[in-house]
Amino acid sequence: MEMEITFPGGARVDASFGPFVVQTDQPPAGGGEGSAPTPFALFLASFGTCAGIYVLGFLRQRALATEGVRLIQRARRNPATGMTDQVEIEILLPADFPEKYREAVVRAAEQCAVKKHLEQPPAILVTAHPV
């Protein structure tokens, strides 16, 4: 997948691909306007939304209702390094959700492609060329 990264002004950085534009900004304390999520917030959101796609697919395959199902994601930061060292995704299920599917829905969420890529990260190559 190819994306074009552009600088529309201020501290904003956008990624365009296909018909989509993903906008990012920095908070005012970081020199931005806070008009969009930071790139790192989008990175973290990709975990929960990816797990959510797998949970949704699981529910749809079994004709289970999505009403009342939601995911809560918490990121823990290591104070010594400032790096996120744990991301917890909690799947909240309605009281009448079938017990026989509880462990299976967790396994489905764990199949998230974003999570799998972090377990075996890709190489990231950065180059610069005149245009």
What are the backbone dihedrals phi and psi of residue 46, each rounded to the nearest 5 degrees, phi first? -65, -30
Query: What is the structure's pLDDT at 125?
Result: 96
Query: What is the structure's pLDDT at 40?
Result: 96
What are the backbone dihedrals phi and psi of residue 80, each rounded to the nearest 5 degrees, phi first? -75, -35
Q: Which residues of the chain fall short of a pLDDT of 50?
A: none
Tell me how crowded residue 58 is: count the other CB atoms within 10 A of its CB: 20
Query: What is the structure's pLDDT at 51?
Result: 98
Q: Which amino acid is at 91?
A: I
Domain ranges within the chain, ordered by starting residue: 1-36, 39-122
For domain 39-122, which CATH number applies: 3.30.1360.70, 3.30.300.20, 3.80.30.20, 3.30.2270.10? 3.30.300.20
What's the CA gap between 54 and 108, in Å, rounded? 6
Query: What is the structure's pLDDT at 126?
Result: 97
Is-contact 91 105, C-beta < 8 A? yes
Query: What is the structure's pLDDT at 117?
Result: 95
Query: What is the structure's pLDDT at 53?
Result: 98
pTM, whole model, 2 decimals?
A: 0.90
pLDDT in tens, 100-120: 999 999 999 999 999 999 999
Query: What is the structure's pLDDT at 103?
Result: 98
Place of tokens 């998230």: 112
Query: What is the structure's pLDDT at 38?
Result: 98
Query: What is the structure's pLDDT at 95?
Result: 96
Listed in sequence order, the residues at least 6 apart from 112 whose beta carbon sits closer than 8 Å to its beta carbon are 47, 50, 51, 53, 54
